[in-house]
Structure formats: structure tokens, C-alpha cells
């Protein structure tokens, strides 16, 4: 249910009410006093005055009230009532002037505007307090008319059975006018009560006043009729009182927030009316001749009106169902959409049931759209939907979440059962893709997650199945069952990535956090022959505020994956050049080696970053070494060659890192203008115990020397290995034996302390 906003200001409505109250009270008192004593026309004059005053007040309120059209309808009722009484006055005057008796038809003529006024009051009550946004429901009038017909039919029946003598002398029109008037008041009273409860405006005192007024009028009309007071006079006197009551009620207006009335209220009303009509029809013939034929006529009219109302209601409900259906189905494929899936998940959660959920995402579907166009792409989606539908087990819900993403909900399903269904889905989709005449590379990734009975959280289950799907996609498609540990790691990495991005963005904004948190450690490279430190390798670390010092493995792949590496490399190049510029040992300045990743090598800004770092620090280009792994160089030899040439043209050195881990041949390296080869730690580790490895190292060193490359052995941890490496002709060594990577200040201290060459070096060389 939606709340209907009432427009305009809230609070008492502005009125010149003391004047009006005086007028109206005078009008009210007059008929009470005069009715028994004074001839009809004088009473009618007073009644007309009261009705006109009420109409004026109601029109004023209608123009200003924020409550929309209900006061317009009440004002119309007052105008019609005034017209009715004015007709009676006119007849009275005619009677007085011409001396002719009152025209019998005048009662009917007066009764018609009054009954129309009743319809207007009914229209006003049904719009009560709903604001201007209330859409007019023509069905409300059908309801009212049907209720009036059924009610009057029932009243005829009651009268005919209970008190046939009461109206035996009345003309037919008078009996029916009286019964119609009474029933109209009953209908109005019922409508007030229904509106107040269904639109939740019980707090509106005015509505209660109105209800009480209608009830009082009903009593007066019934009792008055019973006592034999002429029905028409009672009718229009009570109607004038009704519009007066409305005018009084309008004096103080405190609109109460209302809710739109649902379709349920009219539906209940229809059932009641049908029941009433059936009773009247069934009981017909048991009445008295006074009302002969009327009950059946009214009941028939009521049934006709109710039928029209039902047809309308059914049509509205069908439209509602249709729009609900549209809101819950996917336009393209006709299966459920995300909203429907979520609704079903919620329902399962509410019933404390368990479920398995599969999230399906097509791989490389974009290529189909790009190659064949969106129409064919849509076509393929429909074909795949068909395959999924045919494979989905009975009782499951297949939904398209959007794009090329689907979900299959298995109520009561387990992880295991979900995985089995997922495997069948993959097979089915693979089969239709393969059967397609077009060459399609479309695959499928499925994530499976489950929730046990009583633990289902729709959002969480969707998230877990989605996370599992991404794991499947990451490993090239197929299916993956949600793994809580892997998920925790993924979340942890996501958090780390957020920190990293913030750090790099903050650096661009100049907050200095990057300089404090991303630091370079330096590890010396020592000349084997002299034992003199000749260079340093700069190795990055992240001094994370919460996680402590993080090694490069903990974050570099994140940097690479998210395209942040070029920014990091540029910043580290600057740092390394600046920090290492003044370092000297054994009478000479040290080289500084910086590692380049694959993306840094390919990045068009690399050369500019190198130039910039050199220019800013004043480091001679020949002292800068850029390390690129063998694997990276081999991945795109053409690019590697071009970049290497550009670097060496500036005098910057290129080093082939991690040599031996890839499968390159040194032959390829003849073209590459590198100046250094770094033997991977895997060789260094085994060189002592495996003669074959020692042979390979010896051969590699020989070839490298012939190509003009110096050979640096990495990961040297003990003197014995150092001795073997020296014997095999290695030029330089790097490893824990000399020093672990150290922060700049500590490295400088280390450098100062180290005055004499390692004794073992000389011995091994000999
Ligand atoms: P790498 O270039 O092969 O660096 C040598 C790694 O071996 C360093 O690990 C170093 O601490 C470690 N190491 C040195 N001596 C020994 C030893 O005697 N024994 C053992 N067990 N290990 C030794 P680290 O600092 O953790 O760096 C790991 C990798 O991260 C580096 O491998 C490099 O590929 C990458 N990396 C480090 N800093 C950077 C950087 O600034 N940029 C880029 N793109 N990559 C970097
Ligand atoms: Ca390296
Ligand atoms: Ca290395």
C-alpha cells in the first residue's frame, strides 16, 4: 500500500466561521421548531437558506482544502439539496398564489435532486482524505448504486414482512422514496466506516462526526417514517441536515495521512452485495402486496450492477496480474528476472528453508555481439536459455540476472547436488554452442553456493554464488563451488587493493603517504674477484599501517592486475635513483638495479619515467640497471628488443633477471643489447650438490661472457656455494651471505662497516 501525499499546508482551514456557525445554527433550529406548526412552504424557505449557506461554506473549503476533490463533491451535494428545497418553495408559492392544491408530482421532482445529492455525498466520502493523487475509480459509483439497489430490495422485503400495515395508505412513490432515503443513509454510513478503516484515517475526527451524523439521520428518518410523518418532508429535511453537518465538519480541517485503498475492500463489498441480492431474490413472493414486485426488481438491478462491477474488477485484477508478471519476467528470454529470483529467495528465507544457488556467466559472449551483432547475440541467449531450461530440474527457478548472466535456484538443494546440476548445465550449453553453425568460442562459468535450512540470507547466498562464479571464470571457465577460505582471501585482497589504490591516489594528491609506506630495501651485489660492493638491487616493501612490513609477493600481483604498476615503477625509479646516487664503495660509485615488470616494460611512459628519474636525481645513466625477467623478455621479444635499444641508447643498462627459470636459449639473447645476466636462485641452490647443474652454470657463464654479459649469481647464502660460483667464473654474487635487503640508512651503515673483502673469496679464486 502506498501512502498518498496530501498537498498544500496542513492545519485548520481558514474560515469566517463564527458568522457561518451562527447562520447555520439558526437554520438548523428553525425547522426543528417550525416543522410541526408551520405550513410546508415556510419550512422549505428556511431549509433552502440553510442548504445555500452550507453550499457556500463547502465551496470555500473546496477551493482551499489540500484534501482534493471530496469537498467539491460535498459542495455539489449542498447545491443539489438547495435546488430540491427551492423547488418545494416554488411549488408552495404557486400553491399560495394560484390557490391550487400542492402538485402531487412535486414530491418526485424534489426527491430527484435530493437523491442525486446523496450520490454526490457518496462520491465525496469515497474520496475522503486521499489527496489529489487519488485516481478516480468509476467502480466506486457502481458499488454505491448496487448497494443502494440491494439494500432497498431488502428494505422492501423487511417492510412487506414486518410492518405491511405501516405504509398501507401511502402512495407507492412515497414508500419507495422513504425506503430509498433510508437505504442511502445506510450506504453512506457503511461507506464512511469502510473508508475510515480501509484508508487508515480513523484518527480523523471529522469522519467520525460525519458517521455519527448519518447514523442520527437514519434513526430520525426510520422513526419519523414509522411515526407516519410524510416521507418526502423527512427526506429533504434530513438531507438539509446532512449538508449542514458537512458544512460544520468542514469548519475545522485536520487532514490525516491516508493510504490508497486496496482492491480487497471492493472485492469484499461485491461478495456481500451478491449474497444480499440472492437472499432478496430467494425470499421474493413471501412479501405483502404493498411492496409487490419491488424486491425482485431491486435485487435484479443490484445483480446487474454487481456483475458489471465484477467484470471491471476482474479486468483490473487481470491487468494487475499481467503487470506483476511483466515486472517479474525477463523481456528477452521470458524466464524469471532478478526481481523474481530475489523474491523467491526471500520467501524461502522467510519459511526457514535451505537452498542451493547457481550463478552462471557466459565466457567470451561479448565477442559474439561484436562479431555477429546484437540481434544474433540475443538469439544465442535465447537458445542457451532453452538449453538451461531443459536441463534445470523440476521445482527449480531459472532466472536471467542481466546481460549474459543467469541463476538457477534449487530449493532444498545442497552444495553437492548443486555442483552436479552445474556440471549438467555446462554440458548442455557446450552442446548447443558446438551445434551452432557459427564458429563460437562461448564458454560458461558456474558458481555454486548453498545455505542450510534456517540459515538462508538471500543477499549473502547471491554474493557467495557470484564469488564462486568469478573463481570459476578466473580458472578459465567450468564450475566452482564456493570456498569460504578462498573467499576470505579474496576479500582480504580486495581490502589490500583498496588501500593500495588509496595510497597511489593520495600520492598524486601529494599527501606523502606513499613515500612513508612504500619503501625500497637495498641488497648489495659483490664483485667475486675483489670482494668489493659494486651495486645494489632495489627491492620494494610495503610498510602497511595495520599489516606490518609486506614483501613484494603480498601485493605486486595486485598492482599488476589492476594496472597500477607503471605508476609504482615510475615512483620507485625516482626513489632508487635519488637514494643510491651518493653511494660509493672501494673507490667507485655503486650501480643501482630496479626491477621492471612485464607491464612496465610495455608501458609507453617507461622511457620518459627513466629520463625523468635520471634528470631529477643526477644519477649517471650508466649506473642505472633495469632488471627484466627472462620470461617477460621472451613473452614479446620484438617489444623487448625495441625497449632495450632505447634504454641502451641512453646508456642505461639492461639485466636479464631470473635466468634459467624460463626456456629461452642464449642464442636469442645475442640480439638483445643487455649487459647483465642474473642466474636464478634455483641454480645457485643446487650448484654445490649437483655436478650437472654446475656444468650448466659453467656453460652459461662461458656463453654469456662471449656475448659480453657479466654474470650475477642470486641467492648466495653460504661461503661454500660462493666458492663454487667463483670457480665456475661467476662475476658477482648477491645473497644473504653478504646481506639481506636493508632499508637505506641501514644499508649505508652496513656499507661503512664493511671495510675488508671476504677472506673466502680470495681463497676460492686461487
Ligand atoms: P628478484 O628480482 O628475483 O629479487 C630477489 C629476491 O630474492 C628478493 O626477494 C630477495 O629478498 C630474495 N633474496 C635475495 N637474496 C636471497 C638469499 O640469499 N636467499 C633467499 N632465499 N632469497 C634471497 P623479494 O625482495 O621478496 O622480492 C621478490 C621479487 O619481487 C623480486 O624477485 C622481484 O621479482 C619482485 N620485486 C621486488 N621489488 C620489485 C620492484 O620494485 N618492482 C618490481 N616490478 N618487482 C619487484
Ligand atoms: Ca631482480
Ligand atoms: Ca631474480
Residue pLDDT, tens place only, 237-287: 778 888 888 888 887 766 666 555 555 666 677 778 778 888 777 776 555
Burial of 364 (0-12, 13-18, 19+ CB in 10 A): middle
421 vs 264, higher pLDDT: 421
Instruction: Say if ligand 1 is within 6 A of residue 556 CB.
Output: yes
Residue 503 located in a structural domain: no
Cα separation values, 129 from 59, 201, 550, Å? 16, 8, 66
Residue 43 has pLDDT above 90, yes or no: no
715 lines ligand 1 (CB under 6 A): yes
Q: Does any ligand 1 atom lie closer than 6 A to the CB of residue 540? A: yes
330 contact partners, CB below 8 Å, separation of at least 6: 336, 337, 399, 400
Which ligand is closest in space to the CA of residue 520? 1
Convert the pLDDT of each residue in 103-139 to its tens digit: 666 666 777 887 788 888 888 888 775 533 333 454 5
Residues 617 and 556 in one domain: yes
736 CB within 6 A, ligand 1: yes
- Residue 720 resides in a domain: yes
- Please give the Cα distance from 451 to 456 (Å, whole number): 5
Nearest ligand 1 atom, CA 552:
30
Candidate of 712, 714, 735 to mutate for ligand 1, largest count of ligand atoms within 8 Å of Cβ: 714
Residues 474 and 370 in one domain: yes
Question: Which helix (H) or strand (E) is 298 found in, with range?
Answer: helix 294-328
**Which grid cell sits at 640?**
623487448
pLDDT at 589 over 80: yes
Best CA proximity match to 406, nearest among 382, 375, 423: 382
* Nearest-atom index, ligand 1, CA of 596: 44
Residues 115 and 167 in one domain: no
The residue whose CA is least distant from atom 33 of ligand 1 is 595
Residues 4 and 85 in one domain: yes
Q: Are residues 533 and 603 in the same domain?
A: yes
User: How close is the Cα of 741 to the center of ligand 3, in Å?
Assistant: 13
Q: Would you state the torsion angle of the CA atoms of residues 735, 528, 577, 743, taken in this order, to the nearest 10 degrees? A: 30
Distance CA 697, CA 711 (A): 10
Give the DSSP H/E element, type plus range, for residue 360. strand 355-363
Indicate which ligand has the atom closest to the C-alpha of 549: 1
Q: Which residue in the block uniquely carries the three cell numbers 644473504?
A: 736
Can you read off the three cell numbers belonging to residue 618? Answer: 643526477
Q: Of the ranges 41-55, 162-176, 597-611, which one carries the lowest mean pLDDT score?
A: 162-176
Q: Which atom of ligand 1 is nearest to the CA of 741?
A: 11
Ligand 1: atom nearest CA of 680 is 3
Please report the DSSP string for 29-46 in residue order.
HHHHHHTTTS-HHHHHHH
Ligand 3 center from residue 38 Cα (angstroms): 120
Confidence of residue 1 (pLDDT cuts 50, 70, 90): very low
Q: Which domain holds residue 655?
A: 515-765
In-domain check, residue 407: yes
What does the alpha-carbon distance between residue 222 and residue 238 come to, in Å, rounded to a whole number? 11
Question: Are 315 and 410 part of one and the same domain?
Answer: no
Residues 23 and 156 in one domain: no
What are the CA-CA distances from residue 658 to residues 349, 591, 712, 715, 762 (Å)? 54, 19, 10, 11, 27
Report pLDDT digits (tens) over 564-586.
999 899 999 999 999 999 999 98
The answer, yes or no, to whether any atom of ligand 1 lies below 6 A from the CB of 398, is no
* First-to-final CA distance of the chain: 95
CATH of the domain at 395: 3.30.70.270
Q: Is residue 95 part of a domain?
A: yes
Top-confidence residue, 62 or 140: 62
HSE-CB of 627 using CA atoms within 13 angstroms: 21
Question: Which helix or strand (DSSP H or E) is residue 654 part of?
Answer: strand 653-659
Neighbours of 220 (CB within 10 A): 16
- Rounded Cα distance between 284 and 293, Å, is 8
What is the spatial distance between Cα 750 and Cα 233, in angstroms, rounded to a whole number? 118
Let me know whether 345 and 462 are in one domain: yes
| Banded model confidence at residue 3, pLDDT cuts 50, 70, 90 | very low
Same domain (yes/no): 92, 192:
no
Give the Cα separation of 446 and 477 in Å (integer): 8
Final residue before a domain boundary, out of 432, 457, 482: 482
**Residue at grid coordinates 408552495:** 92
Overall size of the chain counted in residues: 766
**Residue 545 sits in a domain of what CATH number?**
3.20.20.450
| CA of 525, nearest ligand number | 1
Reading the block at residue 3, the C-alpha cell is 501512502
Residues 87, 35, single domain; the answer is yes
Looking at residue 105, what is its pLDDT?
67
Ligand sitting nearest the alpha carbon of 628: 2
**Cα-to-centroid distance, 738 and ligand 3 (Å):** 16
Helical packing angle, 565-580 and 606-617, nearest 10°? 20
Ligand 1 nearest-atom number relative to CA 597: 44
Burial class of residue 720 in the structure, from the number of CB atoms within 10 Å of its CB (0-12 exposed, 13-18 middle, 19+ buried) = middle
Q: Are residues 454 and 531 in the same domain?
A: no
- Spell out a b/e string for 338-347, using b for 16 or more CB atoms within 10 Å of the CB, else e: bebbbbbbee
Any residues with CB less than 8 A from the CB of 304 and at least 6 apart, and which? none
pLDDT of residue 31: 53
The pairing of strands 533-544 and 548-550 is antiparallel
CA of 11 relative to ligand 1 center, distance in Å: 76
Rounded Cα distance between 204 and 197, Å, is: 11
Instruction: Say if ligand 1 is within 6 A of residue 136 CB.
Output: no
Q: Give the mean model confidence (pLDDT) for residues 223-227.
A: 69
**Crossing angle between the packed helical segments 17-34 and 231-249, to the nearest 10 degrees:** 160
pLDDT in tens, 7-29: 333 344 444 556 666 666 666 56
Asked if the structure places residue 473 within a domain, the reply is yes
- Contact criterion met (CB below 8 Å) for 84 and 113: yes
C-beta separation of 436 from 462 below 8 A: no
Residue 402: its pLDDT value, please?
93
Alpha carbon distance 255, 70 (integer Å): 12
Q: Is ligand 1 within 6 A of the CB of residue 232?
A: no
- Distance from residue 727's CA to the centre of ligand 2 (Å): 24
Element (H, E) at 713: strand 710-713
Query: Is position 176 within any domain?
Result: yes
Coil, helix or strand for 135?
coil
- Which of 482, 505, 533 finishes a domain? 482
Q: What percent of the chain has pLDDT over 90?
A: 48
The count of structural domains within the chain is 4
Domain termination site, one of 261, 285, 306: 261
Q: Is the same domain home to 306 and 274?
A: yes
- The cell numbers describing 320, all together, are 494487475
Pocket lining: 572 vs ligand 1, CB cutoff 6 Å: yes
Within a domain: residue 538?
yes
Pocket flag, ligand 1, residue 721 (CB < 6 Å): no
Can you tell me the distance from the alpha carbon of 475 to that of 470, in angstroms, rounded to the nearest whole number? 9
Query: 638 in a domain, yes or no?
Result: yes
Task: Give, using CA atoms, the residue closest to atom 23 of ligand 1.
Answer: 715
Amino acid at each position: 500500500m502506498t501512502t498518498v501525499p496530501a498537498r498544500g499546508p496542513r492545519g485548520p482551514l481558514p474560515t469566517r466561521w463564527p458568522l457561518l456557525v451562527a447562520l447555520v445554527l439558526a437554520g438548523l433550529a428553525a425547522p426543528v421548531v417550525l416543522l410541526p406548526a408551520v405550513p410546508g412552504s415556510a419550512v422549505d424557505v428556511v431549509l433552502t437558506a440553510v442548504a445555500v449557506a452550507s453550499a457556500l461554506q463547502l465551496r470555500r473549503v473546496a477551493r482551499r482544502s489540500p484534501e482534493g476533490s471530496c469537498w467539491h463533491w460535498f459542495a455539489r451535494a449542498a447545491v443539489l439539496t438547495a435546488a430540491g428545497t427551492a423547488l418545494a418553495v416554488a411549488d408552495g408559492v404557486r400553491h399560495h398564489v394560484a390557490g391550487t392544491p400542492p402538485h402531487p408530482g412535486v414530491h418526485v421532482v424534489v426527491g430527484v435532486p435530493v437523491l442525486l445529492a446523496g450520490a454526490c455525498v457518496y462520491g465525496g466520502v469515497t474520496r475522503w482524505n486521499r489527496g489529489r493523487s487519488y485516481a478516480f475509480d468509476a467502480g466506486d459509483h457502481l458499488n454505491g448504486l448496487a448497494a443502494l439497489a440491494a439494500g432497498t430490495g431488502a428494505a422492501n422485503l423487511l417492510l412487506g414482512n414486518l410492518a405491511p400495515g405501516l405504509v398501507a395508505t401511502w402512495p407507492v412513490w412515497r414508500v419507495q422514496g422513504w425506503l430509498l432515503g433510508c437505504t442511502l443513509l445506510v450506504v453512506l454510513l457503511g461507506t464512511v466506516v469502510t473508508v475510515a478503516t480501509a484508508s487508515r484515517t480513523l484518527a480523523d475526527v471529522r469522519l467520525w462526526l460525519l458517521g455519527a451524523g448519518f447514523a442520527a439521520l437514519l434513526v430520525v428518518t426510520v422513526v419519523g417514517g414509522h411515526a407516519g410523518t410524510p416521507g418526502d418532508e423527512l427526506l429533504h429535511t434530513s438531507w438539509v441536515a446532512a449538508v449542514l453537518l458537512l458544512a460544520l465538519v468542514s469548519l475545522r480541517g485536520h487532514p490525516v495521512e491516508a493510504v490508497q485503498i486496496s482492491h480487497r475492500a471492493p472485492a469484499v463489498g461485491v461478495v456481500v452485495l451478491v449474497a444480499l441480492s440472492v437472499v432478496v431474490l430467494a425470499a421474493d413472493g413471501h412479501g405483502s402486496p404493498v411492496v409487490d414486485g419491488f424486491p425482485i426488481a431491486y435485487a435484479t438491478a443490484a445483480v446487474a450492477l454487481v456483475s458489471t462491477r465484477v467484470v471491471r474488477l476482474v479486468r483490473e485484477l487481470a491487468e494487475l496480474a499481467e503487470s506483476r508478471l511483466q515486472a517479474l519476467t525477463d523481456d528477452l528470454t521470458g524466464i524469471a528476472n532478478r526481481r523474481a529470483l530475489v523474491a523467491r529467495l526471500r520467501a524461502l528465507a522467510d519459511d526457514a528453508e535451505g537452498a542451493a544457488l547457481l550463478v552462471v556467466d557466459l565466457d567470451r559472449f561479448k565477442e559474439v555481439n561484436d562479431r555477429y551483432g546484437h540481434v544474433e547475440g540475443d538469439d544465442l541467449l535465447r537458445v542457451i536459455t532453452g538449453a538451461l531450461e531443459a536441463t534445470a530440474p523440476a521445482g527449480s527457478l531459472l532466472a536471467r540476472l542481466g546481460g549474459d548472466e543467469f541463476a538457477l535456484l534449487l530449493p532444498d538443494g545442497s552444495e553437492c547436488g548443486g555442483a552436479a546440476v552445474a556440471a549438467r548445465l555446462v554440458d548442455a550449453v557446450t552442446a548447443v554452442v558446438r551445434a551452432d553453425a557459427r564458429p563460437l568460442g562461448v564458454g560458461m562459468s558456474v558458481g555454486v553456493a548453498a545455505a542450510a535450512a534456517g540459515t538462508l540470507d538471500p543477499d549473502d547466498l547471491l554474493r557467495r554464488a557470484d564469488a564462486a562464479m568469478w573463481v570459476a571464470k578466473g580458472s578459465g571457465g567450468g564450475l566452482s563451488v564456493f570456498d569460504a577460505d578462498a573467499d576470505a582471501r579474496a576479500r582480504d585482497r580486495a581490502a589490500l587493493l583498496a588501500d593500495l589504490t588509496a595510497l597511489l591516489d593520495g600520492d598524486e594528491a601529494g599527501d606523502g603517504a606513499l613515500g612513508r609506506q612504500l619503501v625500497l630495501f637495498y641488497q648489495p651485489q659483490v664483485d667475486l674477484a675483489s670482494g668489493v660492493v659494486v651495486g645494489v638491487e632495489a627491492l620494494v616493501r610495503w610498510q602497511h599501517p595495520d599489516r606490518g612490513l609486506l614483501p613484494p609477493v603480498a601485493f605486486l600481483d595486485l598492482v599488476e592486475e589492476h594496472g597500477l604498476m607503471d605508476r609504482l615503477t615510475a615512483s620507485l625509479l625516482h626513489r632508487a635513483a635519488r637514494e643510491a646516487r651518493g653511494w660509493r664503495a672501494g673507490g667507485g660509485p655503486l650501480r643501482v638495479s630496479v626491477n621492471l615488470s612485464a607491464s612496465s616494460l610495455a608501458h609507453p611512459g617507461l622511457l620518459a619515467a627513466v629520463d625523468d628519474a635520471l634528470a631529477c636525481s643526477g644519477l649517471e645513466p650508466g649506473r642505472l640497471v633495469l632488471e627484466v625477467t627472462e620470461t617477460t623478455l621472451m613473452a614479446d621479444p620484438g617489444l623487448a628488443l625495441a625497449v632495450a635499444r632505447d634504454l641502451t641508447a641512453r646508456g642505461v643498462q639492461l639485466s636479464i633477471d631470473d635466468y634459467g627459470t624460463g626456456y629461452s636459449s642464449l642464442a636469442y639473447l645475442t640480439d638483445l643489447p643487455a649487459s647483465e645476466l642474473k642466474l636464478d636462485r634455483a641454480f645457485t641452490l643446487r650448484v654445490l650438490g649437483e655436478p650437472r647443474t654446475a656444468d650448466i652454470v659453467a656453460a652459461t657463464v662461458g656463453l654469456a661472457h662471449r656475448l659480453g654479459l657479466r654474470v650475477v649469481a642470486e641467492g648466495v647464502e653460504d661461503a661454500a656455494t660462493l666458492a663454487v660460483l667463483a670457480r665456475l667464473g661467476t662475476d658477482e654474487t648477491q645473497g644473504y651471505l653478504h646481506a639481506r635487503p636493508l632499508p637505506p640508512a641501514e644499508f649505508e651503515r652496513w656499507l661503512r662497516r664493511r671495510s675488508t673483502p671476504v677472506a673466502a673469496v680470495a681463497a676460492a679464486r686461487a
